[in-house]
Chain A
Amino acid sequence: MDSYIIVDEKKCGLCGGCVAVCPVKVIIMYKDHLKINDGCIKCDKCIKVCPSGALSKNE
């Protein structure tokens, strides 16, 4: 199953903002990429916080 949030890796600067605001902590920031685990509650907070517009909804 595709996740609700998709990451544009070219825009993501691995700043950690989305990880910090995710209320269910499903985003993990590895050294060189983000991973979104199951359990997203579709609150869109990560999209709002992202400074570079790297996150969007998978619609």
Chain B
Amino acid sequence: MNNNYDVIIVGGGPGGLYAASVIDKGYKVIVFEKDEVIGEPIICAEGISNYILKQFFNGTDFPFIRNTFKKVKIKYKGYEANVDITDMGVVTIDRTKFEQYIARKVQEEKGFEIRTNSFVVDAKVDDDGVRVFLENGEEFFGKIIIIADGVESYLPGKVGINSVCSLKDMYSCYQKIISDGTIDDDVMIFDFTPSVTPGGYLWVFPRGNKEANFGIGVTSSEDCEKPYKLLEEYRQKYYPESKILREFPGCVGVNQLAKIYGERAMVVGDSARAADPITGGGIDNALRTGNFAGIVANLVLKGNDFSARRLSQYQELVEKDNGYSLKKQNQLREMLIEMSEEELDKFFISIINLFNGKTVSSDIYSLYSLKFSLKTAGMVINFMGSLMKDKYLLKMIMKLLWK
């Protein structure tokens, strides 16, 4: 009975790998990844905060950091704010090294299997367990399944969890890795100008050595030019001399699924639409949901009860987690999408006036310096919290302002 496992994990990205790394040693666990190599190919701008990484990994000297930022530049039409974020520890990471780092923990510390080149085409759940089918016809059995199959989120539907993403919840993105003498490695740039990037933003996240992840994301329901065209226009305007090292499309779905568990199943990361609704950043929430899925897997394996009722703990833990404020951020995203251009002008110009020349760090931030109505203040801080990948700001504002 070689093909019997305690836990089957589909998807060897940050979500699936991190979930595996949390499951207790001694259980029989396998991760299926369709690509040949863990960590390749990468479709990501690689921005995250060190503060978040430290919540999930021991140590401080991470071998996968590319570059640390000192400043963020927020652009909107002709306006811009330059904000000091030296204390925020916002970095770009090497996603390939990052995923391989987690994979090593899974294999070496836990002794679990990671099978690459293994595309899971179908899964079925019944009273006896989970059955998983590979493209080559092989069949595997598990007590539970953790689905971490990324944005395409193909497998949840197979086990009765609806994960179809609506167009308005999907960022359609395109990225180029560019090399250009004018790139300042210390500064990350966000441009929210609506004509440049309808319902989204453009980013420049330097990777060091004057190279940058340069990309754009628009809301898919917007009637606009395709991201690859919008990005190329911007490149020709602002980085005409740049060399393109690699380019690729990408998509991120937001607005977390109503239900992220089922009978014998849990859905994590992008597959659960767990990314931040404002920024589309989802590495942190892939780790966060992966962590809870791993914890709950341990509990249900011990208790030998794999019912949806028991697994509902997973969703409870995810939503109770203080750092997890996706619903509020999603409300804000929906408000932003519906704002008229005049309202957007007001919103972004307020942000720019408020933050230009300031230093932001989680502990010194004080609310009373805001001269707006509480609701606007809430929106502004919520927005900035997302941008700076600072869940502490978000938590504070939720407590104070959102009921």
Contacts and interface: CB of A to CB of B under 8 A. Distances in A.
Interface of A: 12-13, 15-17, 19-23, 25, 28-31, 45, 48-54
B133 to A, nearest CB: 13
Interface of B: 34-36, 43, 117, 119, 121, 135, 150-154, 157, 163-167, 170, 172-174, 220-221, 226-229, 248-251, 253
B220 A53 contact: no
B207 to A, nearest CB: 19
B254 to A, nearest CB: 11
Given A25-B164, A28-B121, A48-B220, A20 B251 contact: yes
A11 B380 CA distance: 38
Contact of A29 (B43, B154, B227): B154
A54 to B, nearest CB: 8
Given A16-B251, A20-B151, A28-B154, A49 B173 contact: no
A17 B248 contact: no
User: Which residue among B34, B36, B249 has the maximum number of chain A CB atoms within 10 Å of its CB?
Assistant: B249
Contacts of A45: 167
Q: Which 8 A-B pairs have the closest CB atoms?
A: A17-B251, A16-B152, A51-B249, A19-B152, A52-B249, A13-B249, A51-B227, A13-B248
A26 B321 CA distance: 35
Contacts of A54: 249
Contacts of A51: 172-174, 226-228, 249-251
Nearest to A21: B165
A52 B228 contact: yes
B164 A49 contact: no
A6 B70 CA distance: 45
Contacts of A12: 249
B119 A49 contact: no
Given A20-B152, A49-B167, A13 B250 contact: yes
A50 B228 CA distance: 10
Given A15-B249, A28-B154, 11 more contacts: A13-B248, A16-B150, A17-B172, A19-B151, A21-B220, A25-B164, A29-B154, A31-B35, A31-B36, A49-B220, A52-B227
A37 B288 CA distance: 34
B249 A17 contact: yes
A13 B157 CA distance: 23
B249 A30 contact: no
A16 B151 contact: yes
Contacts of B173: 15, 51
Contacts of B119: 30-31
Contacts of B35: 31
A28 to B, nearest CB: 7
Nearest to A49: B220
Contacts of A52: 174, 226-228, 249
26 contacts: A12-B249, A15-B248, A15-B251, A16-B150, A17-B151, A17-B170, A19-B154, A20-B151, A20-B170, A21-B164, A21-B167, A23-B164, A25-B154, A28-B121, A30-B34, A30-B135, A31-B119, A48-B220, A50-B172, A51-B174, A52-B174, A52-B226, A52-B227, A52-B228, A52-B249, A54-B249
